[in-house]
A and B are shown apart, each in its own frame.
Chain A
Amino acid sequence: MVHMANQIALFFASYPKDEAVAGVTDHFKKFWEPRMRKQIVEYVAHGGGGLHELALEAVKHLSN
């Protein structure tokens, strides 16, 4: 899950940060089934070690 999230972040990393975070967030929403989103939200709640900064930011948007 962390690997997948980081791969997504790396694709959007070439874009300006706001655009990149929005891209990663949108990808999570469009393609990740709710239980997967719940898992990564919980993972971040427990520290989110190893996650790319864009993925971390995006997951925070999911939590909100």
Chain B
Amino acid sequence: MALIREVDYGTPKQVSDTLVTLEIDGKPVTVPAGTSVMRAAAEVGVQIPKLCASDNLKAFGSCRLCLVEVEGRKGTPASCTTPAEQGMKVRTQSPKLAKLRLGVMELYASDFPPELLKPSAGVNSEFQEMAVAVGLSKVRYGYSGKNHQNAEKDESNPYFSFDPSKCIVCSRCVRACDEVQGTLALTIDGRGFASQVSAGDKPFLESECVSCGACVQACPTDSLLEKTVIAKGRPDRSVVTTCAYCGVGCSFKAELRGNEVVRMMPFKDGKANHGHSCVKGRFAWGYATHKDRITKPMVRAKITDPWREVSWEEAIGHAASEFKRIQAKYGRDSIGGITSSRCTNEETYLVQKMVRAAFGNNNTDTCARVCHSPTGYGMNTTLGTSAGTQNFDSIEAADVVMIIGANPTDAHPVFASQMKRRLREGARLIILDPRRIDLVKSPHIQADYHLPLLPGTNVAMINALAHVVVTEGLVDEAFVKERCDVAAFEQWRKFIAEERNSPEVAEKFTGVPAADVRAAARMYATGGNAAIYYGLGVTEHSQGSTMVMGMCNLAMATGNLGKNGVGINPLRGQNNVQGSCDMGSFPHEFPGYRHVSQTAVRESFEAAWKVALQSEPGLRIPNMIDAAVDGTFKGIYIQGEDIVQSDPNTQHISGGLAAMECVVVQDLFLNETASYAHVFLPGSTFLEKDGTFTNAERRISRVRKAIEPMAGLGDWEATIALSAAMGYPMHYNHPSEIMDEIARLTPTFKGVSFEKIEQLGSIQWPCNDKAPEGTPVMHIGGFVRGKGRFMITEFVPTDERTTGRFPLILTTGRILSQYNVGAQTRRTDNNVWHDMDVLEIHPSDAENRGIKEGDLVSLASRSGEITLPARISERMQPGVVYTTFHHAMTGANVVTTEFSDWATNCPEYKVTAVQVQLARHLSEWQEHYRETRRLTTRIERESTAND
């Protein structure tokens, strides 16, 4: 595919019921009222020269290149700031306009590197294009006068360079930072000749810049330019694909030069991101070719042996032979598999199919177990389906935004930008979070209510909010009567109205003043369209599922479901968490969330797969580990997950894996889990795949192969090979055929195919006969389960209690620059922002312990102990500390416990009782880890083997 260049219409699209018809160079065009003349011209293919305009930014009218003539009017107005009017006749070309534009361009060029305007320099930037468009062939003013040609470059950012000599101070970068990203890190300093783009009078790296790339994308002169383009040259082809980081699922153009990726550019037609990006998707893709990539299959007899590189045939044959031996010795249910939320729907589907059909059991699970499994349980119970109710664009109709246990600016930055735009427009904001996340107060945004509840008290808080709604007469009675199970509602109403659920009683648990809770509840219930957005701060608790049901209760009681601008919206952590759940990764259900005990459903799979299937649920990940420790679970295939680093109580996980007789890991790198593996199958990055991802808004988007798999086989092909070696061959020529099978067997995917995705760009499930083009907003007119079901949500405090020995509460999370276990982002320059995990601690807790900024501290719980540097932070409340789990050496999950959600076993990462003290050396676990890691990652390559 050639290099894609999207049409830039110059100014944003307008929406209006009133249409106006005008003529542009004699061509009639009808546009919504409010549309600029520039955009109207572009609609009929007339590109008016421009430099400061872009259709993702408000009109600015500064460059004076887009001048036009309007019949009957004096002067030459800027077409970007002139609204189209009925009957208007516009001329975009005339000798007078040509002369004016040439004059303007010549002035710009007089302070622009002259060598870039020579024909030999080519036409790479918009500035060069405009120079050609206006016929600039010489600059009469010369270059000897005062200019910026020797201005110092800012090379501080690892991903892009700022060269002021090319800057024309058009403000596009500043406006992109303001309007698109919402960070407001850039400004124009100085006046007149001294005007310059500034990141707050600091180098970019030290500024508030979050490296989203919007400024680089906006720059028309290449003053801001990706360093990879400078190093590798201009791309010559594009492949549109989907980002493999968070659950926003941004659409990108992978831009290549030959077979080498040069840059990732956000795709304007991407319906999840609308042309925006974050530092991870835009820049942190270098891991794909990192030297640590393992591209050859490997085996070893014992985990203390060095790895031995072998052929695919030998590796697959060895794995299958071991699995068959184990099943013969310990029984059919002694092995299982883990699918990946980082892999495609098609790959995930194949792994669970292999487990069910080739292994002959239901021991399949996925990493959603440790993040959003309570979302599935809670939403399915109350509403009837295991997915978020809205599309991202729904937020544009929200009047009240309630964020619970999520940190969108760090974990879902592109959606956060859309959210911030709506908040700047005036939507009200309520935040429930123990930490003071950035959205509590950031440029032009301030939460109306921040309810800093103590970790572990979510259910007390949601009950208190609902108590106010019920007892103050704020229930949407008509909605409840029409849409919900009234008997269940009355049962819930009676429960929630009890005094023990009041904000005043809840305050004893949550620590949040009752008056604030009452005010926030009133705002949510009466402020117009109210939408809840939540993250792992909701789910990763012993009452995670209860809390999800509590939120659904609140939304149903106030009528905030089933229309635009409202809803219950889980912000999914990984790119394909939604998809991996949809594809039947859980041990109790087939694709489409249908329990394995449902005879008709099971028979449909048995008929299609031509094999008998089990009707009993299989083991969840923690159950597999427990069973391994007990000696009844002996083999596992893990595709693209790193449970040793990501799952709680590391020593329990590693102990379980060490007790197994065959662990097969398929991954890009020798991850932490691979330290306990006997077979390693090299995986592929998203750049090497064909398939689909499903994002947090149920949007199925294509992943398109930009380069060939470095290991020779794609992940889907490796699974097929393993399945065949296990005695169950599967026959597909292309991942599209896998999706065709999914559609045949899964009612909510009935209308999905690669062909339809090509036509529509992306599809939100359910996509079936009733909704052939997908479903942006669910539950309109009725809930999937029929009547919405209120559930009683009694607050049960976690058994993880602080004590004299462990007096603080640890809560864990993520930061912007790193992703999950860091396997990808740690192998990029993102480390410049976060090269180690740190412990955030409130100043008073630090002072009590004699801890100063940067001190090495020990973090100990009843599970284990680690050491890491301290960061004194008032974002924390006293008594609560925080860290991330991005770095393996830190071992944050050595400290977390095995307590988990009652319904789903999602770990309680957010509440661990700990003690923090000054430390002088690494913990025993860390010392042991260093030695174990060295021993278990040795590779005996052919060249060294022959030495």
Whole-angstrom CA separation of A27 from B903 in the bound complex: 8
Q: A33 near B619 (CB under 8 angstroms)?
A: yes
B542 and A7 within 8 A (CB): yes
Interface centre among A4, A10, A33, A34 (most CB of B within 10 A): A33
Q: List 28 A-B contacts (CB under 8 A).
A: A3-B799, A4-B900, A4-B902, A7-B542, A8-B902, A10-B794, A10-B902, A11-B546, A11-B794, A11-B902, A14-B495, A14-B794, A27-B903, A29-B597, A30-B588, A30-B597, A31-B588, A31-B620, A32-B617, A33-B333, A33-B362, A33-B363, A33-B618, A33-B623, A34-B616, A35-B333, A35-B627, A35-B632
Most buried by B among A3, A8, A11, A29: A11
Would you give the shortest CB distance from A50 to chain B, in whole angstroms? 13
For B905, list chain A residues within 8 Å (CB): 4
CA distance A24 to B331 in the complex (A): 29
A-contact bits for B522-544, CB 8 A (1 contact / 0 none)? 00000000000000000000100
Interface-central residue, A8, A13, A36, by most chain B CB under 10 Å: A36
- Kindly identify, within residues 895 to 921 of chain B, every residue whose CB is under 8 Å from any CB belonging to chain A: 899-900, 902-905
- What residues of chain A lie closer than 8 Å to B542, measured between beta carbons? 7
Kindly supply a per-residue 1/0 record for chain A positions 1-26, scoring 1 wherever the CB is within 8 Å of any chain B CB and 0 otherwise.
00110011011011100000000000
> Out of A7, A8, A15, A36, which one reaches B623, CB within 8 Å?
A36
Contacts of A8 in B (CB 8 A): 902-903
Which residues of the partner chain A approach B827 to less than 8 Å between Cβ atoms? none
Q: Report the Cα distance A32→B362, complex, angstroms.
A: 12
Q: Which residue of A lies closest to B792 (CB)?
A: A14
A34 to B362, CA, bound (A): 11
The residue in chain B whose Cβ has the minimal distance to the Cβ of A9 is B902
Interface residues of B (CB under 8 A from A): 333, 362-363, 495, 542, 546, 587-588, 595, 597, 616-620, 623, 627, 632, 792, 794, 796, 799, 899-900, 902-905
Asked if B617 and A13 sit within 8 Å, CB to CB, the answer is: no
The smallest C-beta distance from B758 to any residue of chain A, in angstroms, reads 38
Q: What's the minimum C-beta distance from A64 to chain B, rounded to whole angstroms? A: 17
List A residues at the B interface (Cβ < 8 Å). 3-4, 7-8, 10-11, 13-15, 27, 29-36
Q: Using CB atoms, name the residue of chain B closest to A15.
A: B792
Q: Which residues of A contact B597 (CB under 8 A)?
A: 29-30
How many angstroms between the C-alpha atoms of A29 and B362 in the bound complex?
14
Closest residue of chain B to A6 (Cβ to Cβ) is B902
- B796 contacts A10, CB within 8 Å? yes
- Could you tell me the distance in whole angstroms from the C-beta of A53 to the nearest C-beta in chain B? 16
Number of A-B residue pairs having CB atoms within 8 Å of each other in the complex = 51
Complex CA distance for A33 and B499, rounded to whole angstroms = 39
The residue in chain B whose Cβ has the minimal distance to the Cβ of A36 is B623
* Chain A residue with Cβ nearest B596: A30
* Docked complex Cα distance between A34 and B903 (Å): 17
Residues in A whose Cβ lies below 8 Å from that of B587: 33
Q: What is the minimal beta-carbon distance from B331 to any residue of chain A, in angstroms?
A: 10
| B903 pairs with A11, CB closer than 8 A | yes
A10–B905 CA distance with the chains assembled, in angstroms: 15
Q: Which residue of A lies closest to B632 (CB)?
A: A35
Q: Give bound CA distance, A33 to B332, whole Å.
A: 13
A33 close to B903 (CB less than 8 A): no
Question: In the bound complex, how far is the Cα of B495 from the Cα of A14, in angstroms?
Answer: 9
Cβ of B832 to closest chain A Cβ, rounded Å:
43
**Cα–Cα distance between A11 and B796 once the two chains are bound (Å):** 8
Q: Which residue, B899, B903, B905, has most C-beta atoms of chain A within 10 A? A: B903
Given contact pairs A13-B794, A33-B617, A33-B620, enumerate 19 new A-B contacts (beta carbons under 8 Å).
A3-B799, A3-B899, A4-B900, A4-B902, A7-B902, A10-B902, A11-B794, A11-B902, A11-B903, A30-B588, A30-B597, A31-B617, A31-B903, A33-B333, A33-B363, A33-B587, A33-B618, A35-B632, A36-B619
Once the chains are docked, how many angstroms separate the CA of A8 from the CA of B905? 11
Which residue of chain A lies nearest to B898 when distances are taken between CB atoms in the complex? A3
A17 CB → nearest B CB, Å: 14
CB neighbours of A29 from chain B (8 A): 597
Residue of B nearest to A28 (CB): B617
The answer for the CA separation of A31 and B376 in the assembled complex, in Å, is: 13
Given that A7-B542, A7-B902, A8-B902 are known contacts, is A30 also in contact with B794, CB under 8 Å in the complex? Answer: no
Q: Which residues of B contact A27 (CB under 8 A)?
A: 903
Q: Identify A33's interface contact among B495, B616, B899, B904, CB under 8 A.
A: B616
Closest-CB distance, B338 to chain A (whole angstroms): 15
Contacts of B796 in A (CB 8 A): 7, 10-11
Q: How far is the CB of A61 from chain B (nearest CB, A)?
A: 16
- Cβ contact within 8 Å between B618 and A30: no
Q: How far is the CB of B549 from chain A (nearest CB, A)?
A: 9
- Give the Cβ gap from A8 to chain B, nearest Cβ, in Å: 5
Give every chain A residue within 8 A of B546 (Cβ-Cβ): 11
Cα distance A35–B794 in the bound complex, in angstroms: 30
Distance to closest chain A CB from B896 (angstroms): 16
Closest to B595 in A: A30
Complex interface: chain A residues within 8 A of B362 (CB): 33
Nearest to B614 among chain A residues (CB) is: A34
Q: List the B residue with the shortest CB-CB distance to A34.
A: B616
Shortest Cβ distance from residue B519 to the other chain A in the assembled complex, whole angstroms = 28
Alpha-carbon gap, A33 to B620, bound state (A): 8
The 3 closest A-B pairs by CB, nearest first: A7-B902, A14-B792, A14-B794
A59, chain B: closest CB distance, angstroms? 16
CA distance A13 to B495 in the complex (A): 13
Q: What is the distance, in angstroms, from A5's C-beta to the closest C-beta of chain B? A: 9
Q: How far is the CA of A11 from the CA of B542 in the complex (A)?
A: 11
A13 to B587, CA, bound (A): 26
CB distance from B790 to the nearest CB of A (A): 12
The complex places the Cα of A7 from the Cα of B618 at a distance, in Å, of 20
- Shortest CB-to-CB span from B715 to chain A, Å, is 27
Q: With CB as the reference atom, state the residue of chain A lying closest to B622.
A: A4
In whole angstroms, what is the CA distance A35 to B631 when docked?
Answer: 12
Determine how close the nearest CB of chain B comes to the CB of A33; give it in whole angstroms. Answer: 5
